[in-house]
Amino acid sequence: MKPYRLPLYLSLALALLTGLTGCSQPGTGISEAMPPAKARTAAAPRAGVMQVSFIDIGQGDAELIRTPQGKSILIDAGDVDKGDEVVAYLKSQGVRHLDYVVATHPHADHIGGMNAVLKSVPVRQFLDSGFAYGSKTQEKMLLTIRSKAIPFKVAQQDDHIAVEPNVDLLVYSPKKPYLKNTDSDPNNNSVSCKITYGKTAFLFTGDMEEDGRARMYSAQPDLKANVLKVAHHGSHNGTDDAFLQRVKPSIAVISCGKGNSYKHPHKQALDALKRAKAKVYRTDLQGTVVVTSNGQTVQVGGTPVAAPAPVSSDPVYGHAKSHIYHAASCSRLPSAKNRVSFRSAAEAEAAGYRAHSCMK
Instruction: Return the pLDDT at 206.
Output: 95
In a domain, 223, yes or no: yes
Q: Specify the pLDDT at position 31.
A: 37
Quick one: pLDDT at residue 49?
93
Question: 90 and 48, same structural domain?
Answer: yes
The pLDDT value recorded for residue 351 is: 73
Is 242 or 346 the better-scoring residue by pLDDT?
242
Residues 60, 52: Cα–Cα separation, whole Å: 16
Over residues 249-257, mean pLDDT: 96
Q: What is the average pLDDT value for the chain, to the nearest integer?
A: 85
Q: Residue 243's pLDDT band (boundaries 50, 70, 90)?
A: very high
Identify the band that residue 14 occupies on the pLDDT scale cut at 50, 70 and 90. Answer: low
What band does 23 get if pLDDT is binned at 50, 70 and 90? very low
> Are the C-beta atoms of residues 334 and 327 closer than 8 Å to each other?
no
pLDDT of residue 332: 86
User: Taking residues 184-201, what's their average pLDDT?
Assistant: 96
| Domain range for 343 | 316-359
pLDDT at 263: 93
Are both 60 and 154 inside the same structural domain?
yes
Q: Are residues 297 and 320 in the same domain?
A: no
Task: List pLDDT tens digits, range 63-80.
Answer: 999 999 999 999 999 999
Check residue 356 and give its pLDDT: 79
- Is the model more confident about 38 or about 46? 46
Q: Could you give the percent of the chain with pLDDT greater than 90?
A: 69
Q: Is the pLDDT of residue 187 over 60?
A: yes
Q: Are 312 and 359 in contact (CB under 8 A)?
A: yes
Average pLDDT over residues 113-134: 95
Q: Is residue 355 pLDDT above 90, yes or no?
A: no
Give residue 334's pLDDT: 87
Asked whether residue 196 falls in the same domain as residue 332, the answer is no
pLDDT tens across 209-224, in order?
999 999 999 999 999 9
In a domain, residue 310? The reply is no
| Residue 308 within a domain | no
Asked whether residue 309 is assigned to any structural domain, the reply reads: no
270 shares a domain with 214: yes
pLDDT in tens, 287-322: 999 999 999 999 997 444 333 344 445 788 888 888
Same structural domain for residues 176 and 288?
A: yes
Instruction: Quick: pLDDT tens for 141-152.
Output: 999 999 999 999
Distances 102 to 65, 147, 155 between C-alpha atoms, Å: 11, 18, 9
Expressed in percent and rounded to 5, the helix, strand and coil fractions of the chain are 25, 25, 50
Give, in degrees to the nearest 5, the angle at Cα 59 between 222 and 238. 35
pLDDT at 8 over 50: no
Q: How many structural domains are present in the chain?
A: 2
Residue 125 has pLDDT above 90, yes or no: yes
Average the pLDDT over 229-243 and give the result: 95
Q: Please count the other Cβ atoms lying within 10 Å of the Cβ belonging to residue 130.
A: 25
**Is residue 15 scored above 70 in pLDDT?**
no
What pLDDT band is residue 28 in, cutting at 50, 70 and 90?
Answer: very low
Edge to edge, the sheet with strand 354-355 lists 339-342, 316-319, 324-327, 354-355
Considering the domain architecture, whether residues 170 and 71 belong to the same structural domain is answered as yes
154 shares its domain with 250: yes
pLDDT, mean of residues 112-120: 96
Tell me the average pLDDT across 123-149: 94
Amino acid at 118: L
Give percent of the chain with pLDDT exceeding 70.
Answer: 83
Q: Are residues 193 and 336 in the same domain?
A: no
| Residue 30: per-residue pLDDT | 40
pLDDT band at 21 (very low <50, low <70, confident <90, very high): very low
Burial label, 2 (beta-carbon count in 10 A; 0-12, 13-18, 19+): exposed
Residues 248 and 332 in one domain: no
Measuring CA to CA, which residue among 85, 82, 42, 83 is closest to residue 65? 42
Indicate if 55 and 141 belong to the same structural domain.
yes
